[in-house]
Every structure is written in C-alpha cells, then in structure tokens.
C-alpha cells in the first residue's frame, strides 16, 4: 500500500469520512454546555468538547471494528471496512484506537477535576460498547448511556456542578438522549437486521421484533416529553418550545420513513436525526439570545 492508501484506510477505519456519528454524539453535549453555561459557555470549553467528541467517537469506531473484525465481512454494509478486508492489521488498529483516546485525554486536561474524573467512565463505556452486542438484548441502551456522558461532563466543566451533586436537569437530559439514541440506533439496526440474524448478534431491532417501529416511535415520544421537561427546568422561552414543535413534525416523518422497514428508508431515517439534534441546538441557542 502507498502512504496515501494507508492513510485513507485509517481515515475510513475511524469513520472520519462519515461524520454522522460524531454529530449525533456532539449535539447533546452542546445542549448540555449551553444550558449549563446559560447560553454563554466559554469558547475554550466548546473547542475542548468538540475536539474530544470527534476523537473519542473515532476511537470508539476503531474499537468497534476491531471487535467485529470477524463479523463485518459477512454483513453487506460493513464488508468493505479496512479490518474486514485486511487493509489494516488488528494490532495496528488497537494502537490507533489507543492513540486517539490518549489525544482526547490530553485535550481534556484543562478541564476541572470533576469533569476529568468523568472521562474515566466515559472511556470505559466507549471501549466496552462494541462487545455488548454479544449478550445484551438491547445494546442500543448501553450506547445511549455512552452517548450521554458528555452531558454531565459539560455541567461539571462549566462550574455549575461545583457541589457534591449534579443538577437534576442533567439526569433528565441524559435520559432524554438515551431514549433518542435507542430510537435512532434501532433504525440503524433495522438496516442490518437480516444479516445480524444470520450471524447471531443481538440488536434492539431483533429484540423488539415486529414491534420495532412501535418501539422506535415510543422512544421518540419519551424523548420529546423529556425535552419539554428540560425546557421547563431550564426556564426556556417560546423559541425553544417552537423548536420542539418542529422536532415533533420531524419525528412524525420518521414514522413515514420506517414503517415499511425498507433498508434504504430506515438508513435515511437514521441520518435525518442529525437535523433533529441541530434544530434543538439552534432553538436553544436562539432562545438564550432572544428570550421571549
């Protein structure tokens, strides 16, 4: 392999060519930063969390592909991944994952002690999630916890949580994000359901069975209800709640997309969740700027 081909393989291994996962991890972190910082989080915190999110998601993707290196070749969507094709050796992938995680830790060093301590369970969750597909019936719930850890870190980093307890709104926001993650990652799992059944791994799409669409919409409904509660706890105004109205319309469109359980439509529905995260962030940011 030429240097360009090798760099391309590592770039693809870390999913740096597919930013959707980074964005879905970043949006709830930014929600937490903006709420904790009362609409004015320090710029250096924004930089730290954005870079840290990108690096940790990339490291998690590498670990995921290492864990699934003997499986991905049997799945249509993943058979061309660098570890499945042999472009990258297994041990080199582990070195790469460790390097990305170390960089994320170094970037987080300016954070206060409480936020730094939270990086430990965050790293553990990111590293262990890929293996939960072997034994958990709904590994997407575990992913939801992992994808929510930026929220308490954001509250701790802003100094809002200098007492022994973290504000209750943190846990409401985390639970909302957990439900959102289960919903959109179940849509993602519906794409691979036929292949996953053949190779014997566990996903929420398989566990929910014929109730998969209903489960997705129930999780979306719980997510929306909790985000309304977040707005009340954060004393937000009309712009924020108008944004949730737009999200309601977008979530209704999700049902139209996934009810037929077609692979392409389910994947498109999964991708559409990036807009949902962006709408909530935009509504939250504008609501702080123009309180009504």
Instruction: Please tell me the number of Cα atoms within 13 Å of 55 on its side-chain side.
Output: 21
The CA distance from 240 to 286, in Å, is 8
Please name each of the domains of the chain with its CATH number: 9-289 (1.10.357.140)
pLDDT of 23 reads: 97
First CA to last CA distance, the chain: 59
Q: What are phi and psi of 161, to 5 degrees?
A: -110, 55
- Res. 162: pLDDT tops 50: no
Q: What are phi and psi of 167, to 5 degrees?
A: -50, 140
pLDDT of 208 reads: 96
Mean pLDDT of 184-190: 96
- Res. 63: pLDDT tops 70: yes
User: At 158, is the pLDDT very low, low, confident or very high (cuts 50, 70, 90)?
Assistant: confident
This model's pTM is above 0.85: yes
Per-position DSSP letters for 97-164, written without gaps between them: HHHHHHHHHHHHTTS-HHHHHHHHHHHHHHHHGGGGGGT-S-HHHHHHHHTTTHHHHHHHHHTTT-SS
User: At 149, is the pLDDT very low, low, confident or very high (cuts 50, 70, 90)?
Assistant: very high
For the stretch 230-281, pLDDT in tens is 999 999 999 999 999 999 999 999 999 999 999 999 999 999 999 999 999 9
Other beta carbons within 10 Å of 21: 19
For the stretch 89-139, pLDDT in tens is 999 999 999 999 999 999 999 999 999 999 999 999 998 998 998 899 999
User: At 199, is the pLDDT very low, low, confident or very high (cuts 50, 70, 90)?
Assistant: confident
């Amino acid at each position: 392999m030429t240097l360009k081909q090798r760099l391309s393989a590592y770039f693809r291994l870390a999913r740096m060519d597919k930013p959707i996962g980074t964005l879905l991890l970043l949006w709830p972190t930014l929600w937490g930063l903006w709420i904790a910082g009362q609409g004015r989080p320090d710029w250096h915190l924004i930089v730290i969390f954005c870079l840290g999110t990108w690096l940790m998601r990339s490291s998690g993707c590498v670990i995921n592909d290492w864990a699934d290196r003997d499986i991905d070749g049997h799945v249509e969507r993943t058979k061309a991944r660098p570890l499945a094709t042999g472009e990258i050796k297994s041990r080199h992938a582990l070195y790469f994952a460790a390097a990305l995680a170390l960089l994320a830790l170094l970037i987080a060093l300016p954070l206060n002690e409480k936020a730094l301590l939270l990086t430990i369970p965050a790293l553990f969750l990111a590293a262990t999630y890929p293996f939960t597909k072997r034994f958990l019936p709904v590994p997407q719930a575990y992913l939801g916890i992992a994808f929510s850890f930026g929220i308490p870190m954001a509250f701790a980093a802003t100094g809002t949580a200098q007492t022994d307890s973290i504000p209750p709104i943190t846990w409401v926001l985390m639970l909302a994000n957990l439900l959102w993650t289960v919903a959109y990652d179940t849509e993602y799992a519906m794409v691979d359901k036929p292949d996953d059944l053949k190779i014997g791994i566990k996903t929420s799409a398989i566990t929910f069975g014929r109730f998969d669409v209903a489960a997705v919409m129930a999780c979306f409904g719980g997510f929306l209800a909790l985000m309304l509660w977040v707005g009340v706890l954060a004393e937000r105004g009309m712009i924020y709640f108008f944004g949730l109205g737009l999200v309601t319309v977008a979530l209704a469109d999700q049902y139209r997309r996934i009810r037929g359980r077609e692979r392409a439509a389910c994947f498109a529905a999964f991708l559409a969740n990036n807009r949902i995260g962006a709408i909530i962030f935009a509504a939250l940011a504008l609501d702080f700027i123009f309180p009504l």
